[in-house]
Structure 1
Amino acid sequence: MRFLPIFLDLRSGPVALVGGGDLVRAKLRLLLAAGARIRWYATDGDNVVTGIDAADAESIEHGEGDPLSADLSGVIAVLCAGAGDLGAAMSARAKALGLPVNVMDDLAHSTFIFPAIVDRGDVVVAIGTGGASPVVARRIRERIEAVLPARIGDLARFIGGFRKSIHGRIAEFPLRRRFWERIVDGPIGALVLAGRSDEAEAALNNIADPSGFAGAQAGRAEGRVTLVGAGPGDPDLLTVKALRALQDADIIFYDELVSHDVLDRARRDAARVPVGRRVGKPGIGQEAINQLLIKAAKTGQRVVRLKGGDPFIFGRGGEEIEALRDAGIAYSVIPGITAGLGAAAESEVPLTFRGEALRITFLTAHKAKDAEAVDWSALTDEKMTVVVYMGMTAAPAIRAGLLAAGRSPQTPVGVFARATRPDSQAVTGALEQLPDLVDAIDGGPAILIIGDVVAHSAAWRQANLDSMLSSFQVAAE
C-alpha cells in the first residue's frame, strides 16, 4: 500500500487550486461537492465556471498574481490541474512549505492522489490503484455503485443520531456492536433504506431493553465458534459466508498455512492468534487449541477458527466440534475449497474424466511411516485418481507403495505447490520420478495428484511442448 487512504476535512481551511481549462473545472466541482473553500489561480486567465449555484460560487476565492509567490498561509493543500509546467514548480513550493500536493496525472510531483469515489452522503467509498490505473479504479467503482443501496448514507446518519444514547445504555463494547449489527441487518435498517426514517426512529425508540435486543445472557453477549475454511490461499476463493464471519469475528485462531492475504480480509481490530504448525515444527497441540476456542467463546466473544483448505478434510474440524459440543458451546462450520480442488482447478487437472477417471481417493501422508500404513493395493485401479496431502516428505514411500502394489511406473503424476497463490508452481512426470519431481519445486505446501488425468493438465502440456522444442533444436544442430 503506497498511499494511505484518508478523509480530509476541506472545511478546515482553503485549498489552493492552480490550473485552467476543463481539467481544473472538473477538479473544482469535486472540491465543492466536499464543501471545500477554494483559492483558485486560473493560469489561463479564465475563471468563469458555469453550472454552480450561488452558495458554491461564494466558496471560490479568485487568487491574484503568480501562485509561485502568492501567500499560502492557512492553505491546507495544493492541487494542480491543467497547469502545465507550472505543476512541477508548484509542487516543489508546496513540499517546501510542508503542504500536501497533487499534480494531476503526475505521481512524481504528488504527495497524495485522488481515488475513484462512490458518494452516498455520510458513506463515501474511495477506490485507489496507487495511480497506476484510474480505469481499473473506475470499473471497481461501477461495481460498488451497482450493489450499494442509494440510502446507505441515510442509514449511517440515522445510526449516528442514536450512538451516544445507546452507548449510555449498553456499556459492553461487543454487545453494543452486536446491537448495531441487528439494527443494520434487520427491519429497522430496511425501513431507513426504504426512505421511511420516521418509522425506523419510532421502532428503535420502542426497544425498551437494548441489551436484550442484542442477545445478552446475564448481561454478557453469547459467544460462539465458527470453523471457517480459508481455502488454498487465494483470498478471492473465500466464500461470501467466510468473509462475513471474518468481518464479524472478535478473535481469530488461524493455522500456519493460512495466507496473509486471507487474514487481511478480516476485521482490522479482531485479535489474531496463530495456533497451527508446519510439518517438522512444534505446535501447541490439538487439545490446547480446543481449550482456547472454548475459553474465548465462554467470555462472550465471536470466535473464528480459520483453517487452511476445508475444516473437514485433514483439518481436524471434527475433533474441534466434538470438543465444542461437549462444552456446550454454540458452533457452525463454513466449508472452504480444499487444497486438492484448488490445485486441480488452477492446473486444469480434471480429477474425474468420463471413461478415464471414475473415482477419487484423498489421503494424507505426513511421513514415510504414514505412507507405509496405507493399503496401496486398494489404489491400483487405473481409473482412480489419488490426491495426496502433505506428501512431500513421504514421496519415496508413496512411490514404492504404489509400484509394489502394481501401479504402472509411467502413471502420470503432478506436484502442485502453493496452489492458487502468486508463487504457485507445478511439475509433472511419471510415478517412477515422483521424489525427483518433489525435489524440483521450491518448497511446499504441495498436493500430489496421481493418475491419468494429470496428462490433461496445463503443466503436462507445457512439459511436452518444451520437450518437442528441445528435440527440434537438437535435430537442427
Structure 2
Amino acid sequence: MDYFPLFLDARQLRCLVVGAGEVAARKLELILKTPATITVVAPWACDTVKRLAQSDQVTLIERVFEDTDLDHKDMVFVATDSGEVNQHVHDLARAQNVLVNVVDNTPLCQFITPSIVDRSPIVIAMSSGGVAPVLLRYLRQKLETVLPTNISRLGNFSEKFREKVKQTLSTVTARRYFWEDVLDGDIAELVEKGQEDKADTAFLKALEAAAQEKKEQGSVYLVGAGPGDADLLTFRALRLMQKADVVVYDRLVSPEILELVRRDAEKIYVGKAKSNHTLPQEDINQLMVDEAKKGNRVVRLKGGDPYIFGRGGEEIETLISQGVEFQVVPGVTAANGAASYAGIPLTHRDHAQSVVFATGHLKNNTIDLNWPALAHDNQTLVFYMGLTGLSIICNKLIEHGLSPTTPIALVQSATTENQRVLTATLETIVEHPETASMKPPTLIIVGSVVSLHSKLDWFTPASDD
C-alpha cells in the first residue's frame, strides 16, 4: 500500500490552489464540498473557477504565484500548464511541510485525491495509486448503483443517537451488537423511508431493552473459506467475517481472504502442517468455547469446506457438549476448486460416473483405505493431504487393479496465483522430475478425467516475472 488512506478534518483546513483552468476547477469544486477555506492564485481564471469563486469560502487572486502565497497553508493543489512552476511550488511546499498535489503528475504528489462516493455523512473513498483510473471509475459506478441514495439518513440517524448509546451501553462489544441489530432490522427500514418519528420511538425502546439484558454468551460460526481464491467466498461467509470479534484461522486460509476480515477483529492463527501443529486440535476446540463464553462472536475460518477433511465435526461436537451456539457455513471444497481451476471435471459421461474423496494423510506410514473399492475404472479419486504418501497411493491402486497408465494430476495451491498442475500416470508420477518440487497444499486427482486437462485448462496463474 504505497498511499496511506485517511480523512482530514477540513473544518479548519486552509487550502491553496495554484492555477485556475478547468483542471484546477475540478479540484476547487471538490474542496468546496468541505468547509475548508480556499485561496486560488493564477494570472487568469476560466469561467468555471470565476463562478465557483463567488463562494464565501474562496478568495481568488489573479496574478502569478508568489512564494508567500504558501504561508499559513495546510494543503496545496498545483494545476498550471508550466512544468517549471509546478516543480517550484512542489519543492517549496515539501520544504515547508505543506501537503502538495501536482495534478496529473503522480511523482510530484505527496497525496492523491481518491474517487469518492458521497452520501454525507457516509463517504467512501477509493484509490488505485494513480495506476488504474478507468478501473477505479468502473468500481465507483458499481458502488453508486449498490448503495441506496438515502443511506445518508442512516448516517445522520446514527450520529444523533451515538452519544446516548455510548452512555447507555458500557462496552464496545455491546454497542456494536446493538448497532448491528439496528442497521440490519426494521429500524433502519423506517429511517430509510423517512419515518423518523417511528424510528426514534423504536430505537429508544430497543436501547432500553438492550441496557437491561445481561451480557449473553457468544456464538461460533464454522465458516468454509474455500480453496484460496477470495472470489470463491460465499456472501454469508464474507458477512460473518466482517462481523466477527475473533477469527480463528488455519494455514490454508489465504492472505487475500484474511484481508476481508473486520479490521479490529482479533485474529488467532492455529495452523496445522504435518507433524507441526501450532495448537493441538483439542486446544483449538476449547479456544472457541472460551472465546464464545466471553460473549464474542467467533468465526472459525477453515480452508475449503469445514465438513470435508476439515475436522469440523469434531469441533462442533465440542461446542455442543459445552452448550455453545453454533452455525456452519459451507465453502467450496478444495477438490472442487482444484478440479475446476485445473480443467479437470470430476465427473464426465465418457470418463467417470462417480467421484470419491479420500484422505491420503499417513499414520504409521500406512493409509488405511478400502483399496479394492477405490481401484475402479469410470471413477474419479481425489486424495487430500496425500503428497507425502504419493508412492503408496500409486502402488496400492495399481496393486488392486487400476492400470499403471491411469492418468494422475497433482494440483498445488489450487485457485491461487501460485497454482501448479502436474500430470502423468500412476507408474510415472513418482519419478517425474517435477514431482519433488511440489509442496503442500497439493491435491491428487486420479482417473481418466485427468486426460481432459490439456483441453479444458483455462486458468493462468500470475507470472513470477
Question: Which residue does the alignment assign to 2:184?
Answer: 185
**For the residues of structure 1 that align with 2:314 and 2:38, how far apart are their CA atoms?**
63
The TM-score normalised by the length of structure 1 is 0.91
Report the equivalent of 2:285.
290
- CA deviations on 1:111-160 (whole Å, 9 max, x unpaired) are 11111110001011111111101111111111111111111122011111
Greater shift, 32-41 or 354-363, is seen at 32-41
Residues 92/407 of structure 1: CA separation in 2 closer, same or farther (3 Å cut) = same
Q: Which runs of 5+ in 2 are unaligned?
A: 459-465
**TM-score under structure 2 normalisation?**
0.93
1:246-257 aligned within 5 A: 246-257=241-252
What secondary structure sits across from 1:206 in the alignment?
helix
The counterpart of 2:267, out of the listed 263, 268, 272, is 272
- 1:110–1:227: structure 2 CA closer, same or farther, 3 Å change rule? same
SS of the residue corresponding to residue 266 of structure 1 reads: coil
- Deviation at 1:47? 5.0
Note the alpha carbon deviations across 1:68-94, whole angstroms, 9 max, x for none: 523322211111234441222221111
1:157 and 2:170 matched: no
Match of 1:21 in 2: 21
1:50/1:42 Cα in 2 relative to 1: closer, same or farther (>3 Å)? closer
Aligned to 1:5, the other structure's residue is in SS state: coil
- Local SS of the residue matching 1:4: coil
Q: For the residues of structure 2 that align with 1:173 and 1:11, how far apart are their CA atoms?
A: 28
**Equivalent residue for 1:444?**
440
Report if the CA contact (8 A) 2:218-2:294 is conserved: yes
One-letter amino acid of the structure 2 residue matched with residue 272 of structure 1: K
1:36 positional shift:
2.7
Instruction: Report SS of the residue matched to 1:58.
Output: coil
The alpha carbon displacement at 1:21 in A equals: 2.3
Task: Return the match for 2:355 from 360, 363, 366.
Answer: 360
Shift of 1:9: 2.3
| Conservation of the 8 A alpha-carbon contact between 2:21 and 2:46 | no
Secondary structure of the residue aligned to 2:272 is coil
Q: For residue 326 of structure 1, report the CA deviation from its aligned partner.
A: 1.1
> How many Å apart are 1:203 and its aligned residue?
2.0
1:8 corresponding residue in structure 2: 8
Q: CA RMSD in A?
A: 2.1
Q: Identity of counterpart residues, as a percentage?
A: 38
Q: 2:388 aligns with which of 390, 393, 404?
A: 393
Aligned to 1:63, the other structure's residue is in SS state: strand
Q: Compute the displacement of 1:66 (Å).
A: 3.5
> Compared with structure 1, are the counterparts of its residues 49 and 460 closer, same or farther at alpha carbon in structure 2 (3 Å cutoff)?
closer
In structure 1, list runs of 5 or more residues that go unmatched: 463-477
CA deviation after TM superposition for structure 1 residue 267, in Å:
0.7
Q: Deviations over 1:33-88 (max 9, x none)?
A: 22332111225x1254379578x622111235442523322211111234441222
Q: Does 1:334 align with 2:333?
A: no
Please tell me whether residue 403 in structure 1 is matched to residue 395 in structure 2.
no
The answer to whether the 8 A contact 1:310-1:335 is kept is yes
Contact 1:243 1:265 in 2 (8 A): yes
Aligned residues: 456
Contact 1:233/1:258, CA 8 A, preserved across alignment: yes
Displacement of 1:178 = 0.7
Is 1:259 the counterpart of 2:259? The answer is: no
Alignment check: 8 A CA contact 1:251 1:271 kept: yes
Q: Residue type matched to 2:346 in 1?
A: L
Pick the aligned partner of 1:74 from 72, 75, 78: 72
